[in-house]
Amino acid sequence: MSELRIDIESLTEAYASGVQPTEVVETVFARLRAANDPGIFIHLADKQDLLRQAKELGTFDPALRPLWGVPFAVKDNIDVAGMPTTAACPSFAYAPGEDATVVALLKGAGALVVGKTNLDQFAAGLAGVRTPYPIPKNAIDPSLVPGGSSSGSAIATARGIVSFALGTDTAGSGRIPAGLNNIVGLKPTVGALSSRGVVPACRTLDCVSIFALTVDDAYRVFSVAAKHDPLDPYSRAVPTTPLIERPPAPRVGIPAKADRRFFGDVAMEAGFDASLVEIEALGCRLVEIPFKDFYRTAELLYEGPWIAERYAAIGDFLETHQDAMHPVTRSIIGAARSLTAADAFKGLYALQTLRARLAPVIASVDVICVPTAPTHFTMAALEEEPIATNSQLGAYTNFVNLLDLCGIATPCGTLSNGLPMSVTLLAAAESDGKLAALAADLHATSKATLGATGWRQRPRPSAPVQASDGLVRC
């Protein structure tokens, strides 16, 4: 199998030196065979057709097409023309006539779709196991849950099969699997990436997310895909500033010590403390903030009326195809039948109250840093408690879209037990560039290897820091 690195920066250099995209396609399929994991993809592109697309890319011009020849995977609730969309439910499958907006933009930049990846059915879950297909294997340790719902996308990226992958994120599906597989998970501002052509989970909260091996790669993809879509009523124009500077001595809010939740995982708790030391070393000022209202907000997503929004998306299918649905997914979404319009308004009132209470807390800091996941669960533990463990995985993720925050899950090295440590940086909507700049520096400081590839991070020039007097200092 080729040792060719296919993080985007390395791949761009390889193309400039004469490597052909057809060689990359061969590498992709060789790595997929070597992974020996039938749960990663639900549908694969025809290899000969992908080789043909690679040959037809034309002249290498990364300025004109910044993702020229870059292979990527797409979560199978996002439309790709010529490939079925199943949302991990074969009876739901349909053949889209056109690409989702985000896929079309990436193809237009020269990227090549390798296939459609596995997920928790209808994107309902954070563990990555609620699928009728084989469960994808965690790329770091197959005894652990892979993370979901974007499980296949994260693992394809972590194994170096593709350069990046698209997921979706409503409750943490673009961050949890990133954290559990030692890769970057960029969850943009809601609406920054069009969700037209995406099977909805919660239409008002859904995000298309990006998995990559490095922050720079994730942000490069974001910069291509973050375009306002006039045909998507939830689309919004979000600036994509270059990653050249981060704010001076940013105030980084962290959960108050007494409010932190690790569910007995002392290694993860120690890993979070070590990550905070690294953040301080970057010149950040740590500020403890109360976190109980964040947790109360998180509880609304699955314990409040937002479950009815999931029912609104697929209720007709559920009522006519109950036996086709995963039993846990059917149970969770089916619970919405007991909810009323009055419950929906009560939920909105509760959320607005929490938003008002949390607004000054969020405004008191520049960035919030939380563990991406509170612990690593084994497959065995999940089988014993499928609902409780899934809920615990979302402790630091479920509130994010409800509060209109953007975020980026960032690897921070290895825990004492050998498992990956990851934190997520959060900030108010449209702060995507600011977050990515800090995340890139943090990832570089951690010296974490990339996913499960064993590849070391490339040297990254220190980003200049904007001083309080307006001057830029290195």
pLDDT of residue 241: 86
List pLDDT tens digits, range 179-208. Answer: 999 999 999 999 999 999 999 999 999 999
- For residue 464, pLDDT beyond 50: no
Whether 2 shows a pLDDT value over 70: the answer reads no
The DSSP string of 236-262 is -------S--B-SS-EEEEE-GGG---
Encode pLDDT of 152-167 as tens digits: 999 999 999 999 999 9
pLDDT at 466 over 60: no
Res 249: pLDDT: 86
Six token digits for residue 188: 């943009």
3-state secondary structure of 74: strand
Residue type, 51: L
> Nearest to residue 318, comparing CAs of 304, 329, 307, 309?
329
| 469 has a pLDDT exceeding 60 | no
pLDDT of residue 244: 67
Each residue of 77-124: pLDDT tens digit? 999 999 999 999 999 999 999 999 999 999 999 999 999 999 999 999
Query: For 412-418, what is the mean pLDDT?
Result: 96
Please say if the pLDDT value at position 474 is more than 60: no
Contact 110, 33 (CB under 8 A): no
Domains of the chain with bracketed CATH: 8-293+352-473 (3.90.1300.10)
Predicted local distance difference test score (pLDDT) of residue 247: 73
- Three-state SS for 363-407 is HCCCEEEEECCCCCCEHHHHHHCHHHHHHHHCCCCCCCCCCCEEE
Distance between alpha carbon 33 and the CA centroid of its chain, in Å? 24
293-313 mean pLDDT:
92
**Is the C-alpha dihedral spanning 68, 69, 75, 77 positive or negative?**
positive
- pLDDT of res. 461: 65
Confidence grade of residue 463 (pLDDT, cut at 50, 70, 90):
very low
Residue range 395-407: mean pLDDT, rounded: 98
Does residue 75 carry a catalytic annotation?
yes
Options 10, 163, 173, 195, the catalytic residue: 173
The active-site residue out of 10, 75, 187, 223 is 75
Residue with tokens 């697929």: 314
Q: What is the dihedral of CA 258, 144, 184, 82, to 10 degrees?
A: -140
| For residue 378, pLDDT beyond 50 | yes
Q: Which two tokens stand for residue 447?
A: 């010296």
Given the residues 149, 195, 235, 391, select the one marked as catalytic: 149
Q: What whole-number distance in Å separates Cα of residue 378 and Cα of residue 417?
A: 14
* Under 8 Å between Cβ of 357 and 293: yes
DSSP 6-18: -SHHHHHHHHHTT
Report the candidate in 154, 118, 161 with the shortest Cα–Cα distance to residue 138: 154
**Interatomic CA distance for residues 400 and 172, integer angstroms:** 8
Whole-number pLDDT of residue 359: 98
- Mean pLDDT over 272-296 rounds to 97
Contacts of 422 (CB under 8 A, 6+ apart): 178, 179, 180, 182, 371, 372, 373, 409, 410, 411, 412
Q: What average pLDDT does the chain have?
A: 94
| Digit-coded pLDDT (tens) for 13-55 | 999 999 999 999 999 999 999 999 999 999 999 999 999 999 9
Encoded tokens for 334: 């089916």
Q: Which pLDDT band, with edges at 50, 70 and 90, does 467 fall under?
A: very low
**pLDDT at 465 > cutoff 60:** no
